[in-house]
Amino acid sequence: MVSRNQDLGKRVAAISMLASGLLAVSKIVLGLMAGSTSVVADGLESASDVIASGVVLFGLVLASKPPDANHPYGHGRFETLTGLGVGMMLVAAGLGICVRSLDRIKEVHNAPAAYAFWPLAASIVVKGILSGVKFRYGKRIHSAGLTADAWNDSVDILSGATAAVALGLTIYDPTRFLAADHYGGFAVGLIVIFLGLRVVHETTVLLVDTMPDDDTLRRIREVAVMVPGALGIEKCFARRTGLQYHVDLHLEVDPDLTVRDSHEIASQVRDRIKADLDWVADVLVHVEPHGELETSNGKPR
């Protein structure tokens, strides 16, 4: 299942690279020909999307490597790191777009040509489709990198619309709104920066082992206590390691059971969770005596 998910993520990232590459070339070339700063800025943003999707694809390739002696939890964190890399790249790209746009605000030049609208319209449609696909499959395979790329595409829709409005104002009345096209490029840069900071925050939360939401933990607990002999769950911790979770579980069993019987129940709980929840990579089960509220030193647990 994990291998199929990774292959699916790779295909989506590869298709996104191709689409973003074509959009970037069309917007940059036509934007330069038409003399539109906002369209060129949006084209540069699309060019950064190509690099971002490439980083995500690279991360998925690394994440697909099996566990080894130095990485017993697998290589899934590489996929999360790529999401962080995408966020940092977006911040850098946004800053570059802002600087380039502001440099041209005081220039006196002819109004952009109206055909500069066409690559923006195409970008809004294509990015709308790509963002929906990436959000869907990113959620399905629990991919932080693919989800980060989906946010990237969704903001492309906003940046494209912003560029279109700015371009439209300049074409409508060049005398009054000649600088609007440049301010539109600056606004696109700010949008990209905001998105990059959001992606950096979300991936950093995963890298510092923040606990998942309560519903995720509840599902793990419910599956665990379905095993005969599992009397309760004292503690349940989980952390994302790429596309899956690693779970630490404190399982309560009858204190009169033998070590062998307790171990057998723990093994069944581990296997049941992995079988029922495909987003769990492994479970470490610690057995606790059910109903005993104090440890050997007399202090509450």
Which residue, chain included where needed, has tokens 């171990």? Answer: 263
Q: Give yes or no: residues 146 and 276 share one domain.
A: no
The Cα 135–Cα 129 span in angstroms is 10
**How high is the pLDDT of residue 230?**
92
* Cα distance between residue 203 and residue 196, in whole Å: 11
Looking at the fold, whether 155 and 22 belong to one and the same domain comes out as: yes
The CATH number linked to 101 is: 1.20.1510.10
| Residue 79 reports pLDDT greater than 80 | no
Q: How far apart are CA 149 and CA 46, in angstroms?
A: 12
Question: Given 184, 207, 230, which residue is the final one in a domain?
Answer: 207
Q: pLDDT class for 104, splitting at 50, 70, 90?
A: low
The closest of 132, 127, 134 to 159, measured between CA atoms, is 127
Determine, yes or no, domain membership for 294: no
Q: What is the DSSP letter of 113?
A: P
Pick left, alpha or beta for residue 241 (phi over 0 → left; psi -120 to 50 → alpha; otherwise beta): beta
Helix axes 144-172, 180-207, angle to 10 degrees: 170
Report the alpha-carbon distance of residue 230 to residue 236 in Å, rounded: 14
Verify that 132 and 268 share a domain, yes or no: no
> pLDDT confidence of 269, banded at 50, 70, 90?
very high
Sheet holding 280-289, edge to edge: 232-240, 245-253, 280-289
| One domain for residues 100 and 244 | no
For residue 2, pLDDT over 60 is answered with: no
Residues 248/237, Cβ–Cβ less than 8 Å: yes
The answer to whether 44 and 97 are in contact (CB under 8 A) is yes
6, 140 contact by CB (below 8 A)? no
The tens digit of pLDDT for each residue in 205-219 reads 878 888 888 888 999
Segments forming the whole domain that contains residue 234: 214-289
299 falls within a domain: no
Same domain flag for 45 and 177:
yes
The rounded percent of the chain whose pLDDT value lies above 90 is 19
Please give the pLDDT value at position 286.
Answer: 93
The pLDDT of residue 3 is 56
Q: How many residues are given for the chain?
A: 301
Contact 67, 244 (CB under 8 A): no
Q: Which of 142, 177, 207 lies at the terminal end of a domain, its last residue?
A: 207
pLDDT at 66 over 80: no
Residue 231 token pair: 């009397």
Q: Is residue 301 part of a domain?
A: no
Distances (CA, A) of 212 to 81, 89, 103, 215, 223: 18, 26, 44, 8, 16
Q: Which of 74 and 6 is assigned the larger pLDDT?
A: 74
Residue 96: alpha-carbon gap to chain centroid = 23
Residue 190 lies in a domain: yes
E strand spans, the chain: 232-240, 245-253, 280-289
Q: Write out pLDDT tens, residues 154-195.
A: 777 877 888 788 888 888 887 777 778 778 778 878 888 887
Q: Are residues 26 and 137 in the same domain?
A: yes
Element spanning 187, H or E: helix 180-207
Q: How confident is the model at residue 297 (pLDDT cuts 50, 70, 90)?
A: very low
- pLDDT exceeds cutoff 80 at 100: no
Confidence band, pLDDT 50/70/90 cuts, at residue 293: low
Given a cut of 70, whether residue 4 has pLDDT beyond it is no
245 phi, psi to nearest 5 deg: -110, 150
Query: Around Cβ 54, how many Cβ atoms within 10 Å?
Result: 18
The number of folded domains in the chain is 2
Residue 233 lies in a domain: yes
Pair of tokens at residue 46: 């699309």
Read off the CATH number of the domain in which 264 is found.
3.30.70.1350
pLDDT at 107: 63
pLDDT above 70 covers what percent of the chain? 91
Q: Is residue 111 part of a domain?
A: yes
Average pLDDT over residues 89-101: 82
Final residue belonging to a domain, choices 157, 178, 207: 207
Averaged pLDDT score across all residues of the chain: 81
